[in-house]
Every structure is written in structure tokens, then in C-alpha cells.
Amino acid sequence: MVKQTFFAALLMAAASGAAADTLNVVSWDGAYVKSQILGFIRPYEEATGTRVNVIQYAGGIDEIRAQSRAWNVSWDVVDLELFDAIRACNEGLLEVIDRTTLPAAPDGTAAEDDFINRQVTPCGVANVAGSTIVSFRRGAFAKPPTSLEDFFDLSKYPGKRALRKSPQGNLEWALIADGVPHQKVYDVLGTEAGLTRAFAKLDELKPQLQWWETGQQAIRLLETEQVVMSAVYSGRVAAAVERGEPLDIIWDHQVWYYDVWSIVKNGRNTELAQDFVRFASSAESLAAQAGYIPYGPMRRSSMAMLDESLRERLPTSRAHLKTAVELNATWWSENLDRIAPRFERWLERPVMVPKAMPR
């Protein structure tokens, strides 16, 4: 009887431990993950008793592929760039998420009708829209740059530049700076001649380029004056300005996109992961996150919760979308495996410094 009571107590303790589960949520770094932690991760922990371990990464699906295929999953929920979510979903690495189970808007509107985006992949739930912009230090130039073309103009605006170590966004910008209308970028980039043209334009910057892999690194390059201009996520600039950094944004031809929450397939915590995604994608959670970083919530009801002054600062504001390029996630999901090796070879190629013109 004593043994039975003892084992019963062990079972109860195990059940209690399972109730206080731990969830591994993978996201980005710096001000972005801070906005998630303060906006809804801590409230989720308080509401459920679940502990959330936040793991930072720099994007990509290699680790997801390795974990899912080995049935040894430690990443439960991942904040993925949309094109990576499409790729991973097509490979069978992610769980399909039933959008009808997501929380309705406060007025009762079904989540499916409340989300702003069209559903591009069944394996992801949109969270916020961010953007890659050009930022520069105030006072670095007598006449401040105002356009994307100025970023590529080394004679008028000399000095080091920084770009994300990835072809996405960079190739689009190169074509625009070379005269391609932003509405035609993917038509041109889809041709071999257009791809060659984009790399040729990047060649002009290459002697002055530094590369970053995380948003925090990009901000650090600007803060420490290692570069005079850098591609950077717009919300990171806002956080740096709040700290007193003298940074400005060039919204011209921003590349905007949105991320999605995805659940890695073959994991042990799938139900708990689904519960977290429902909480994180609620109208209230997305609106709360926007209060900590000026990124656009992907629910209409969340946008309605924000004051006008904040909505004007978002990448999705009408003023900022005038010349914007929406990152074509479907195009990149289909072409990244073809272009990424070429980009890596281009990075490794020696920098060709132009010879001085004879006098």
C-alpha cells in the first residue's frame, strides 16, 4: 500500500511537472526579440505557467531540417522569414496550422478575415511586417542622402557601407539603383541577364562593403562609425534612436516583408506550440508588440488598437509604401537554392579596386 501511494505520488509529480512545461521559441535578436518578450512572451508565461526559452538565430532552415528529419526536435516554435517558411513547408518540415483555431478579433471577426495577408503557406501564421531600409549617421555628410541611389553613389557620399550577408533585398536594390522600376524588379531578376546586371551593380560597392548577419550587428556597425551607411531593419533604428544614437532612415525603396510563426514537425511539444502560436497571434499580442517596436501587426484589429502617431511610423504606413518593394517570398522560395551558391561565389571573389584614371 505504501509502495502504491509512493508511485501514485510520483505520477502526480510527473503530471504536475508536465503542466509546467518548457517551450523553446526561436526568434531574432536585439530590439525585435525584446518586443516579443515584453509584448506577449512574458504575459503568456504568467497566464499559463509555461516557461518559454527564447533562442536567437540568424535565419535559415538548415537546423530545422536537421532536427525534423532526425526526429530530435528541440526548436518548438520558430519565427521564420516567409520565404523560408514556404521552403520548409514544401519539404514537410513544419506542421500545418489550422487558421480556424486562431483567436478571433475583439469584435468577433474570425481570424481568417482579420489577417491582412493572403495565406501563402499553410505552415505559418503571420505576425508583423518589418522592412529593410538604409540608415546613416546624422552629420556624416554635409548634404544628407535621401534616396537608395545615394547609397550606391560612392563619389557623392564616400565611405564604408554595410549590407546583410544574403542575396535577398540586395539584388533588388542593385537593380533599382541601376534604373529598373521597382514594379519590374522580379521580372528582370528572373532573367539571367538581369541577375548578372544586379551582381555587376553590387560590384561597384564591393570595395567599400562590410557584411552583417543579425540586426544587432548592423546597428553596431553604425553606432561605432565603422560604416557611414547601412542596410538595417527599420525597427532596430527606432530602438537605437531612443537610446540617443544620431541615426536617420531613408525610406526610399524600403524592402518590406512579414515573418510567420511556424511549428517544427516531429517535435514533442506540438500541442503546447500550437497554444503559444494562438496566444502570440492574437490581436492584443500583436498590438502590444508594436508598442515596443514600430513594426506593422498583420491583423486589422491590432492596427485599430494603435494610435495614429505610431501607425505613421510603421513600414506599412501609406507614406512609406510609395516606393516600397514587397519582398516576393514565393519567388525567393523557388529561386534561393539557385542564387545562393552564386552569391557565395561572388562574396569569395577578390575585390577589384578600380585603377586610377590617367591625368
> SS3 for 64?
helix
* Burial grade of 164 (CB within 10 A; 0-12, 13-18, 19 or more): buried
Q: What is the DSSP secondary-structure string of 199-257?
A: HHHHHHHGGGEEEESSHHHHHHHHHTTS-SEEEEEHHHHHHHHHTT--EEEEEEEEEEE
What single DSSP character describes residue 99?
G
> SS3 for 67?
helix
Cα–Cα nearest to 95, from 117, 79, 76: 76
And the C-alpha cell for 72?
530530435
Domains in the chain: ranges and CATH: 2-128+258-311 (3.40.190.10), 130-257+322-348 (3.40.190.10)
The separation between the first and the last C-alpha atoms of the chain, rounded to the nearest angstrom, is 102
State pTM to two decimals: 0.89
Buried/exposed 83-105: b ≥16 CB within 10 Å, e otherwise: bbbbbbbeeebbbebeeeebbeb
Judge whether 331 and 185 are in contact, CB under 8 Å. Answer: no
Q: Could you tell me how far CA 245 lies from the centroid of its own chain? A: 22
* Residues whose CB falls within 8 Å of the CB of residue 164, separated by 6 or more in sequence, listed in order: 132, 170, 211, 212, 213, 218, 231
Cα separation, 46 vs 20, in Å, equals: 11
pLDDT in tens, the chain (359 residues): 433 443 333 333 333 334 458 999 999 999 999 999 999 999 999 999 999 999 999 999 999 999 999 999 999 999 999 999 999 999 999 999 999 999 999 999 999 999 997 778 999 999 999 999 999 999 899 999 999 999 999 999 999 999 999 999 999 999 999 999 999 999 999 999 999 999 999 999 999 999 999 999 999 999 999 999 999 999 999 999 999 999 999 999 999 999 999 999 999 999 999 999 999 999 999 999 999 999 999 999 999 999 999 999 999 999 999 999 999 999 999 999 999 999 999 999 987 654 443 43
And the C-alpha cell for 103?
483567436
β-pair type (22-27, 51-56): parallel
